[in-house]
Amino acid sequence: MLQFQEAIQSRNPPVNPSVKLAQENAASQPVSHPLDTNDHADTSQLPDSPIQHFDTPKGLTLQVDFAWSKFRNIVSEKNGDQLTPLYIQHFRPTKPQLRFETARDNVNIASGTIKNISISAECELNGKTVELKPLARWKTKYNYLSTTLSPDNSPVAISWITSSSMKIWDFICVDANQIAIAKFSVNIWAMKQVGNFHFEKSAEAISKEARDEIVVMGLTLMYVMVCRMNNPLNLLGSVFAKPGRVDDGKGGDVELQNRKDR
């Protein structure tokens, strides 16, 4: 298996793996950019009603910058031209390959494990283990169970879907009713500024736990896909994968389109 650092460094053009995946996504699903168009993301495994997007970022924005000198990502709250560091995400060659800590006091809050063969991933977040399960073998569609993003603190299925262009690769986090919670917009060609997390709610309306979860799951998913483009063993994992909805305890492991809106 290729080393994890080599997979990350392969983002350098002209062999940027994200470009290849963006092209494959563009060929297999509608091309859209929620910031600039009214098109919708690929929702073939989600309900029939159109997904709700915010056209422009109205709430909290977090900027992700890659520091080449220290080989890590710095996630900062963006307020105009001012950046306030919130998280530091480290890379490791061994599992868990991703480690997240607070920028202020360097307290570990989460880790992300990318598997050698399986296309699923696993996160440790605030003492809880979360499985990031694929919804499809060959497309960027994942889901997981969350209590933090649930209105009543019961487990609810949260999904990540994508839309892409030749420049931007959007990872969109939606709830069971297809309402967009947040979006991680990745600049495919960037060498330093990886992208931005856009939240529909303001910083004051978002709990720290919810913010932690979106950042950890979004970055983990992005690097899962980067590694899938560079690890031939993941092709085998895709063939034998068992994609599907996570069981939220409200009707079993069923597709969302078979469940009535609450």
Question: pLDDT by residue (tens digit) across 84-143?
Answer: 999 999 999 999 999 999 999 999 999 999 999 999 999 999 889 999 999 999 888 999
* Higher pLDDT among residues 248 and 149, named by residue: 149
Q: Is residue 10 part of a domain?
A: no
What integer pLDDT is reported at residue 42 of this predicted model? 47
DSSP string, 64-120: EEEETTTTEEEEEEEETTEEEEEEEEEE-SSSS-EEEEETTT--EEEEEEE-SS-S-
* pLDDT per position as a tens digit, 57-86: 579 999 999 999 999 999 999 998 999 999
Whether 20 shows a pLDDT value over 50: the answer reads no
What integer pLDDT is reported at residue 181 of this predicted model? 93
Over the Cα atoms of the chain, what is R_g? Answer: 17
Mean pLDDT of 27-36: 41
Provide the pLDDT confidence category of residue 250 given band limits of 50, 70 and 90: low
Provide the pLDDT confidence category of residue 146 given band limits of 50, 70 and 90: very high
For 168-205, give one letter per residue: b (16+ CB within 10 A) or e. Answer: bbbbbbbbbebebbbbbbbbbebeeebbbbbbbeeeee
Domain count across the chain: 1
Q: Is residue 4 part of a domain?
A: no
Cα 57 to the chain's mean position, in Å?
Answer: 17
Q: Is residue 158 part of a domain?
A: yes
Show the tokens assigned to 241.
């994968």
Provide the pLDDT confidence category of residue 251 given band limits of 50, 70 and 90: low
**d(Cα 159, Cα 175) in Å, to the nearest integer?**
6
Q: Is residue 193 part of a domain?
A: yes
Q: Is residue 9 part of a domain?
A: no
Give the global pTM. Answer: 0.75
Q: Is residue 87 part of a domain?
A: yes
CB of 1 closer than 8 Å to CB of 7:
no
What integer pLDDT is reported at residue 55 of this predicted model? 55
SS3 for 34?
A: coil
Q: Is residue 254 part of a domain?
A: no
Show the tokens assigned to 107.
């307290």
* pLDDT per position as a tens digit, 151-202: 888 999 999 999 888 999 999 999 988 889 999 999 999 899 999 999 989 9
Show the tokens assigned to 121.
């991933």
Show the tokens assigned to 22.
């963006």
Q: Is residue 12 part of a domain?
A: no
Domain that holds residue 232: 19-249
